[in-house]
Chains A and B, each alone.
Chain A
Amino acid sequence: MNLAQSILEALESLSANKLRSGLTILGIVIGVGAVIAMLAVGRGAEATITGSISGIGTNLLFVFRGAMDDSVRNPRPLTLGDADAIADPFQAPSVAAVAPALQGSGEVTYGGETVNTTINGVTPAYFPVRNYGLLEGEPISEVHLLGRASVVLLGPDVADALFGHIDGLVGETVRIEGQPFRVIGVLESKGGGSFGSQDNVVIIPFSTAQARLIRRSTSDRVDVIFVQAVDAESVPQASEEIAQILRTRHRTAIGADDFTIFSQEDFLDVASTITGVLTIFLGGIAGISLLVGGIGIMNIMLVSVTERTREIGLRKALGARRRDILIQFLTESSLLSLIGGVIGIGLGWLIAFIVGRIAANSGTPFDPSIGLDSVLLATLFSAAVGLFFGIYPANRAAGLEPVEALRYE
């Protein structure tokens, strides 16, 4: 018996009971569709998060106060002095630029509109380091810094929420925590991120924030120091240099750093670990539904074997060997799951596409991508499910005694 003949015959017998075959296939369709969609969504999430981390800046290091695990008590705050020391090219040759910042949150109002947003107090170096471009206007300058000027740059989300548009805003006056600030520019959009939107911010001069909005216990304290390394290769080197400088300045005990240095790489690692777990979790749930579909196939094949006991007996009487019957039923179960797999890939693609559209409509650029590997995986897995769950019923059919089977009513 050749393969084409077996497949043709299996199709014939499957189409003899269309509703039943269809429902069985549906189980696999849902399983495979779920696997494909979940893997695509997981992959899309990873791409979006990775993209937004890359959007923060290039070759970037973040310096925070305190150890990651809170093991050091009473960590010394980071200061402007620390930032200046890191900026010293003799002490830290791998460092290209340093941008200390104060971060707080507050209410920005214009007319009747109010927005809760993140307030960043920054120095001019902040813009190149964080990769911020301007739609219009000018960045914070040394003059603003020295004069503690009441000027502000609006993130596009804030501008849109307050004014309903994001252009022609230079010269307007908004109130931050009740104090008037003159708008000197609007930031370019960086896209939504998993760290909250990077567009929902306002930027003011460091000195202004220090004096009037974000008060800290010590006068020259900073919340974060953003450091740009000279190039991608020197990021670890820069990290080491910063650590040395801060250890000396803070006089910490060996192995008890009271600060934390993160690189973009670290963020990417953490993020991809999280999305990886997410993908496995989603895929696992989807896999369970595929398993349930497989059990459905087994169930239907068992019913079919019982129903066709006489047919099996007849085939054996006509000279069918064990192997012939085995192949016949395995072909049927594999076809069921393979057809289900192919339709399921289509369904999964559709779900992923719809999720992508919904995300796009709600303003989050999120692109679920279906890889060739997940298609292959789903196809192979569904065929394997058909084979695996077909083996028991097929074996049962092949093992029937011809005399008994022919007598079966």
Chain B
Amino acid sequence: MKKDWVIQADGLRKIYQMGEVEVRALDGVSLKIERGDVVAIMGPSGSGKSTLMNILGCLDRPSDGEYALDGEAVSQLNDDQLAGIRNRKVGFVFQSFNLLSRTTALANVELPLRYAGMTEGRRDKARQAMDAVGLTDRMYHRPTELSGGQQQRVAIARALVNQPAIIMADEPTGNLDSKVGQEIMNLLLNLNRERGTTLIIVTHDPAIAKQTRRTIRLRDGLVESDR
């Protein structure tokens, strides 16, 4: 059976020029990720895992190499086109939640829909996403009135509201204690099971990596192991 690749990357390089020194953050990474998979990206700091996540999440462009996300070649797109791709195909979950503190949780979840140009039914869709993460009764709270775990749930609701092809989670449990962190992991794994959303988790916590089906280890900008 032909496999359905949601991510196809070939020879990704990212080179920063720091004054005289050339830093090769990624030095030729090729990988494919199947739709519906759960993948952990691990590696010591400076190994290039954040850079890889930024490129896979279309926040950044590779210096060299080809990258197709959900069947769309994105390495040559301009800033606004990349913004569109991020909006439709990628959901981000950050270590520090990154919610807008001035507005309600529901308004935070609505934000991607607004940038998608959706005018009607936004509120309903955002409510459904809040239901999906189990925060039906916290919709009109501000992020500052929520606990860390609840804030991360709001962030997950925001990530999945546009039904993206992949969810990129950068240390999603890093700011939470282990019990709440496990709850968040369970929620993410559940979403993967129920909706088939591809999950890419950047982490340095082996306990998290153990729960994924595949672990990619990076070192010095290269794939060290892939199991």
The interface of chain A, by Cβ under 8 A from chain B, is 1-2, 5, 9, 12-13, 16, 310-311, 314-324, 401-403, 406
Contacts and interface: CB of A to CB of B under 8 A. Distances in A.
Given A310-B98, A322-B79, A317 B115 contact: no
Closest 3 CB pairs of A and B: A319-B87, A319-B115, A321-B80
Nearest to B91: A318
Interface in B48-74: 54, 57, 59-60
Contacts of B116: 319
Given A2-B119, A12-B103, A402-B59, A318 B54 contact: no
B176 interface: no
Contacts of A310: 98
A214 to B, nearest CB: 80
B117 to A, nearest CB: 8
B114 A1 contact: yes
Contacts of A311: 100
A186 B119 CA distance: 78
Given A1-B115, A403-B59, A406-B59, A316 B98 contact: no
B86 A403 contact: no
A318 B115 contact: yes
A140 B87 CA distance: 94
Interface of B: 54, 57, 59-60, 79-80, 83-84, 86-88, 92, 94, 98, 100, 102-103, 111-112, 114-117, 119, 158, 162
B111 A322 contact: no
Given A316-B83, A402-B59, A403-B60, A321 B115 contact: yes
A321 B83 contact: yes
Nearest to A310: B98
Nearest to B57: A317
Given A402-B59, A403-B59, A406-B59, A320 B83 contact: yes
A310 B117 CA distance: 22
A406 B87 CA distance: 16
B109 to A, nearest CB: 10
A324 B79 CA distance: 13
B102 A320 contact: no
Given A9-B103, A319-B88, A320-B83, 8 more contacts: A1-B114, A1-B117, A314-B100, A317-B57, A318-B115, A319-B162, A322-B80, A403-B59
Contacts of B59: 316-317, 402-403, 406
A307 to B, nearest CB: 12
A260 to B, nearest CB: 72
A17 to B, nearest CB: 10
A319 B112 contact: yes
Contacts of B119: 2
Nearest to A402: B59
A29 B86 CA distance: 42
A319 to B, nearest CB: 2
A222 to B, nearest CB: 81
A318 B87 CA distance: 5
Contacts of A401: 60
Contacts of B158: 318
Contacts of B100: 311, 314
Contacts of A16: 102
A319 B86 contact: yes
The residue among B83, B88, B92 with the most chain A CB atoms within 10 A of its own CB is B83
5 contacts: A317-B92, A319-B86, A320-B83, A324-B115, A403-B60
Contacts of A324: 115
Contact of A317 (B84, B86, B102, B114): B86
B57 to A, nearest CB: 8
Contacts of B114: 1, 5
Nearest to B53: A403
Contacts of A320: 83, 115
Contacts of B80: 321-323
A311 B86 CA distance: 16
B60 A318 contact: no
Contacts of A316: 59, 83, 86
A163 B59 CA distance: 90
Contacts of A12: 102-103
A142 B25 CA distance: 112
B98 A314 contact: yes
Nearest to B101: A16
A323 B83 CA distance: 11
B154 to A, nearest CB: 13
Contacts of B102: 12-13, 16
A54 B42 CA distance: 91
Given A2-B119, A310-B98, A319 B84 contact: yes
Contacts of A322: 79-80, 83
A311 B103 CA distance: 12
Contacts of B88: 319
Given A12-B102, A402-B59, A406-B59, A318 B86 contact: yes
